[in-house]
Structure 1
Amino acid sequence: MKLKQLESLLGDLQQFTNPKVELEQYPTGPHIASRMLYMAENSFGDISSKVVADFGCGCGSLGAAAALLGAEQVIGFDIDSESLELASLNADELELDMSFVQCDIKHLALRGQIVDTVIMNPPFGTRKKGADMEFLFVALKVASGAVYSLHKSSTREHVKRTALREFNASSAEVLCELRFDIPQLYKFHKKREMDVAVDLWRFVPKRN
């Protein structure tokens, strides 16, 4: 599937109508979601025929992109039941076979479930400090192959240092810097739209 076609399909997905600020719910736009998954597949072969977990899946954009690119199985995890309902509707709309699990990522314990690749746009940690790193810590324990994640570019050195020194990643690489569009979703947003510089990371966990 070509990048343009992937972005077009993701552009038709429903997004949050009642986002929850405490969960830092911001939709991952089709521009970023398509490039993130396209690069994961075409540069590294981490999606097709793999078991892919979408952490904090929200509306399901990243997971849908993985399914469209030929993932063997896609499982979306989110703490919010409304998000999971929306993600399920989006999967049905695209006729994709995806599974969804309601849980708190911090307490995720997968038994007998082998996940090859974790994809995620975690909370950036502006509401709850360190929320992004909590997601990364669990992702590196769950993934057998690679973790793809978005983090604010301003946190680049902290993310790299923590992943390698504390979370035992064997590698942590910024693949590219992207502009994350944030629409005016919440009352405290003064501008109609703003964008934040984010890094697309690829982490590889240490194998035992």
Structure 2
Amino acid sequence: MKLKQLESYLGNLDQFTDPKVELEQYPTGPHIASRMLFSAENSFGDVSGKVVADFGCGCGTLGIAAALLDAEYAIGIDVDSDSLELASQNAEDLEVDMELIQCDINNLEWKGQIVDTVVMNPPFGTRKKGADLDFLKMGLKVASQAVYSFHKTSTRDHVKRTALRNFNVRSAEVLCELRFDVPQLYKFHKKKEVDIAVDLWRFVPQKNQERVAK
């Protein structure tokens, strides 16, 4: 599937109608979502034929993108039941399979099949400081191959230092810088839309787990 085709599919997904500010719910736009998954597959082979988990899946954009790129198995995890209902409907509309699990990422105790790749657009930590790194820490515990994540460009040095020093990653690489379009969703938003510079990261765990044969 070509990048523009993937972006077009994702552009048809339903988004939050009543987002929860305490969860920092912002839609992952089709432009940046498609580039994350397309890069993961075409540059590193981390999607097709892999088990891919979308942490904090929201309306399911990243997990659905993985399914569209022929992931062996796509999983969406979110603490919010309304988000999971929306993700389920979006997956059904595009006729893709994605298992959905309701769970707080911080309380996740993974006992299922080995996950090859974790993809996520974590909270940026504006409501709860360090929330983005909490997601990253758990993603690195679960992923056997790689974690792809968006983080504010302004936090680049801090993210890399924390990943290398505290999370024992083998590598932490910024693949590109993108613009995250934040629409006017909440009452405290003064502007109709704001562009935030974000980095698309690829993290590789220190010790890759062996893939369990199915």
TM-score by length of 1: 0.99
Residues 1:41 and 2:41 aligned together: yes
Cα displacement (A) at 1:42: 0.1
Secondary structure at the counterpart of residue 175 of structure 1: strand
- Correspondence 1:166 to 2:193: no
Q: For residues 47-126 of structure 1, what are the structure 2 equivalents within 5 Å?
A: 47-126=47-126
Q: Give the Cα–Cα distance (whole angstroms) in 2 for the partners of residues 18 and 158 of structure 1.
A: 32
Identify the residue that residue 179 of structure 1 maps to in structure 2: 179
Deviation sequence 1:40-84 (CA, Å, 0-9, x none): 000000000000000000000001100000000000000000000
Matched residue, 1:13: 13
TM-superposition CA deviations, 1:83-109 (whole Å, max 9, x none): 000000000000001100000000101
CA-CA distance at 1:112 after TM superposition: 3.8
Q: 1:137-172: CA deviations, max 9, x gaps?
A: 000000000000000000000000000110001100
Name the amino acid aligned to 1:55. Answer: F
Q: Which position in structure 1 is the counterpart of 2:211?
A: none
Task: Kindly provide the amino acid, as one letter, of the partner of residue 35 in structure 2.
Answer: R
Q: Secondary structure at the match of 1:126?
A: coil
Shift, 1:113, TM fit: 2.0
Q: CA deviation at 1:29?
A: 0.4
Paired letter, 2:106: K
- The Cα shift of 1:35 comes to 0.7
Partner residue in 1 for 2:189: 189
Find the aligned partners of 2:119 and 2:170 in 1 and give their Cα distance: 17
In structure 2, C-alpha distance between the alignment counterparts of 1:112 and 1:67, rounded to whole Å: 19
Give structure 1 stretches of 5+ with no counterpart.
Answer: none
TM-score of the pair, normalised by structure 2? 0.96
**CA distance in structure 2 between the aligned counterparts of 1:108 and 1:179, rounded to whole angstroms:** 30
Q: What one-letter code is carried by the residue in structure 1 that aligns with 2:173? A: E
Query: Match for 2:29: what amino acid?
Result: G
State percent identity of aligned pairs.
77
Distance in 1 separating the partners of 2:73 and 2:125: 29
CA distance in 2, matches of 1:3, 1:15: 21
For structure 2, the 5+ residue unaligned runs are 209-214
Secondary structure of the 1:43 match is helix
What is the DSSP-based 3-state SS (H/G/I as helix, E as strand, rest coil) of the residue aligned with 2:44? coil
Give secondary structure in 1 for the equivalent of 2:150. strand
Counterparts of 1:118 and 1:94, CA distance in 2: 21
Report the aligned-residue RMSD: 0.6
Shift of 1:111: 1.1
SS at match of 1:129: coil
Residue 135 of structure 1: SS of its match in structure 2? helix
**How many residue pairs end up in the alignment?**
208
